[in-house]
């Protein structure tokens, strides 16, 4: 039980470690943080968007295809970062560099190690999605200033909801061979079929029902409502509760699996 209830003061001591990691790696991602959203908008929203004409009622209230896909791309970015930070990096710290073993040899407990790393991932999501939103803003795709500001912590919550379950999965693997399937059968289908690029009612009743229970659709729908300024509060409360619950379950599983890997 002690491993599941971390000391926040001890977890905060790992801030120096994660700050050093970011200081040494930020250059590899800062360019893509600006370039990727710009080219996504130009390719999918501006060029392809010129060929897409639809009633706003068919685009969840968005006035254009670009306005429709912009919040979906932001949410997909949060998911992508969560996947990338909790697959190979976790395997490296467990198996290749064995950094977790050195951490657990100190007074740190597993819950504190997980808390510090999840905090770092959530901050990475916040920075990247803030840049994404800033790049999208000049295109006039956001209709609510306050909603766009609130959308940023929503991306952090979405990142948490993906990071903890994937972290739990990676923490118990013997090797990295399963990660290819995680990306091909998990992340990519979620990006394509969770309302990012087209309304999920185009999938048909069965697949639409499946899409509605995916974490990414919860984040996409909530983000879209916020930036379009058309919030349905019942749906919004459900989305937040869903993502919080998924993050909490993932946290519990992560600490248990990593404890088994490192301590028992």
Q: Where are the domains of the chain?
A: 11-262
Is residue 7 helix, strand or coil?
coil
Asked whether the beta carbons of 197 and 44 are under 8 A apart, the reply is yes
Q: What average pLDDT does the structure give for the chain?
A: 87
Task: Find the mean pLDDT for residues 225-244.
Answer: 94
Q: What is the pLDDT of residues 142-182, one digit of tens each?
A: 888 999 999 999 999 999 999 999 999 999 898 899 999 99
Q: Give the pLDDT band (50/70/90) at residue 48.
A: low
**Residue 264 or 102, more confident:** 102
Q: Tell me: pLDDT of 212 over 70.
A: yes
State the CB neighbour count (10 A cutoff) for residue 261: 17
What pTM did the predictor assign? 0.90
Query: Does the pLDDT of residue 45 top 70, yes or no?
Result: no
Give the pLDDT confidence score for residue 63 in this predicted structure: 77
pLDDT: which is higher, 242 or 108: 242
> Which residue do the tokens 């919860």 mark?
218
pLDDT at 42 (0 to 100): 74
pLDDT-derived band at 57, boundaries 50, 70, 90: low
> Which of 240, 230, 219 minimizes the C-alpha distance to 73?
219
Q: Which of 58-72, 101-115, 129-143, 247-261 has the lowest mean pLDDT?
A: 58-72
Q: What is the pLDDT of residue 32?
A: 64
Q: Where are the alpha helices (DSSP H) in 86-214?
A: 88-91, 99-104, 110-136, 145-171, 179-182, 188-193, 205-212
Q: Among 260, 259, 262, 261, which Cα is nearest to 3's?
A: 259
Instruction: Select the more confidently predicted residue: 101 or 49.
Output: 101
Distance between CA 222 and CA 155 in Å, rounded?
Answer: 10
What's the mean pLDDT in 28-42? 70
């Amino acid at each position: 039980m002690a491993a599941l209830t971390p000391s926040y003061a001890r977890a905060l001591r790992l801030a120096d470690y994660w700050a050093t990691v970011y200081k040494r790696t930020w250059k590899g991602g800062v360019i893509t943080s600006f370039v990727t959203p710009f080219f996504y908008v130009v390719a999918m929203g501006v060029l392809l968007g010129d060929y897409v004409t639809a009633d706003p009622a068919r685009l969840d209230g968005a006035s254009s295809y670009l306005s429709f896909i912009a919040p979906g791309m932001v949410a997909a970015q949060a998911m992508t970062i969560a996947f990338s930070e909790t697959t190979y990096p976790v395997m490296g710290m467990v198996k290749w560099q064995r950094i977790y073993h050195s951490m657990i040899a100190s007074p740190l407990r597993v819950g504190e190690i997980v808390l510090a790393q999840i905090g770092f991932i959530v901050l990475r999501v916040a920075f990247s999605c803030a840049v994404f939103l800033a790049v999208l803003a000049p295109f006039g795709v956001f209709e609510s200033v306050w909603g766009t500001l609130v959308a940023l912590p929503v991306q952090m919550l979405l990142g948490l909801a993906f990071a903890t379950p994937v972290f739990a999965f990676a923490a118990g693997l013997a090797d990295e061979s399963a990660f290819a399937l995680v990306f091909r059968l998990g992340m990519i289908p979620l990006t394509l079929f969770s309302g990012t690029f087209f309304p999920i009612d185009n999938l048909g009743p069965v697949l639409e029902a499946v899409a509605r229970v995916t974490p990414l659709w919860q984040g996409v729908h909530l983000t879209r409502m916020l930036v379009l300024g058309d919030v349905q509060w019942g749906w919004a409360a459900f989305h937040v509760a869903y993502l919080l619950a998924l993050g909490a379950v993932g946290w519990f599983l992560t600490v248990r699996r990593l404890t088994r890997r490192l301590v028992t």
